[in-house]
Structure 1
Amino acid sequence: MDSITDDASITNLAQDYSLPGLILYILIAIALWRVFSKAGYPGILAIIPIVNVFILVKVAGYSAWMTLLYLIPIVNIVFSIFVAVRLGQRFGKGGAFSFFLLWLFSVIGYFIIGFGSARYRSA
């Protein structure tokens, strides 16, 4: 008989969620590649896990140092909304689009911005 710790082991979690997680990461990297390219940054930076967040914050118009705000609980949620709204403004999108498609469903929003007709406008 299996014990409860065997069922909740980290290896079981990794086996269950590794393929969907990898697919989601690849989709985000493809979408961010186009977003970075439109903003004038090298698209290859979308593949590197932590660097892509730094570049996304820079594309939104903030200093890359502000990415450190993602390390503070509660502040990271608020800051990610600010980044999403500011990113939407840079690409000519409204607040509702930014909140729902760049924050809640970011994969869809990045694809719309990256492969759509939106153009990047720097401040």
Structure 2
Amino acid sequence: MENQFSASAESPIGVGIIIAYLAIVLLGLIISWKIFVKASKPGWAAIIPIYNIIVLLEIVGRPTWWVILLFIPFVNFVILILICIDLAKSFGKSTAFGIGLFFLNLIFGAILAFGDAVYQGPSAQIPNKLANN
């Protein structure tokens, strides 16, 4: 006897969950694409794993070796919060908006992508102390 409460891929609930998941992923890709284009980066970079993070780090002005930090448990949360705050500031938004980007990424990302925010350059540009001497 088959379990009537199982949510397999053939059930309407399973199909609905898969469709909802794919819609959320597609929305996230569209938002990332639009943010990259606003920052004068290629939109297609948003769909390539790891490279999209490298491009995002370029947008906010952080070093590309920070990608490694995103693979370290617990450290990655701190780094992601800093990246979200830097992204918000790169588009002229506040630190609170950056925190919103971290916790409600799709909502605040859509505001950033489709709103009137203009890219102002990397907010976290780390000064080169050797160049100053």
TM-score by length of 2: 0.75
User: What is the alpha-carbon distance in structure 1 between the residues aligned to residue 121 and residue 115 of structure 2?
Assistant: 18
Distance, in Å, in 2 between the alignment partners of 1:95 and 1:111 is 17
- Equivalent residues in 2 for 1:75-94 (5 A)? 75-94=75-94
Partner residue in 2 for 1:113: 112
Quote the Cα distance in structure 2 between the aligned partners of 1:103 and 1:23: 20
Q: Equivalent pairs: percent with the same residue?
A: 35
Distance 1:54 1:21 in 2: 25
RMSD: 2.3
- Does residue 24 of structure 2 align to residue 29 of structure 1? no
Partner of 2:102: 103
1:74–1:35 Cα change, 3 Å: same
More deviation in 68-77 or 109-118?
109-118
For structure 1, the 5+ residue unaligned runs are 8-13
1:16 offset after TM fit, Å?
8.0
Give distance in 1, aligned partners of 2:61 and 2:94.
Answer: 16
SS in 2 for 1:68: helix
Once residues 114 and 45 of structure 1 are traced to their aligned partners in structure 2, the CA distance between those partners, rounded to angstroms, is 15
Task: List gaps (5 residues or longer) in structure 2.
Answer: 7-13, 123-133
TM-score, length basis structure 1:
0.80
- After superposition, the Cα gap between the structure-2 partners of 1:105 and 1:121, relative to the gap in structure 1 and judged at 3 Å, is same
Task: Give, in whole Å, the separation in 2 of the partners of 1:107 and 1:78.
Answer: 19
Instruction: Give the distance between the partners of 1:76 and 1:106, measured in 2 at CA.
Output: 16
- CA shift in 2, pair 1:18/1:48, >3 Å: farther
Larger radius of gyration: 2
- Aligned counterparts of 1:38 and 1:115: Cα–Cα separation in 2: 10
User: What is the CA–CA distance in structure 1 between the aligned matches of 2:76 and 2:58, rounded to whole Å?
Assistant: 16
User: How far did 1:28 drift?
Assistant: 0.8
How has the CA–CA distance of structure 1 residues 93 and 65 changed in structure 2, closer, same or farther, with 3 Å as cutoff?
same
The residue type equivalent to 2:62 in the other structure is Y
In the alignment, structure 1 residue 52 sits paired with structure 2 residue 59: no
**Which residue of structure 1 lines up, in the alignment, with residue 68 of structure 2?**
68
Range moving further from structure 2, 81-90 or 42-51:
42-51
Query: 1:15 deviation in Å?
Result: 7.2
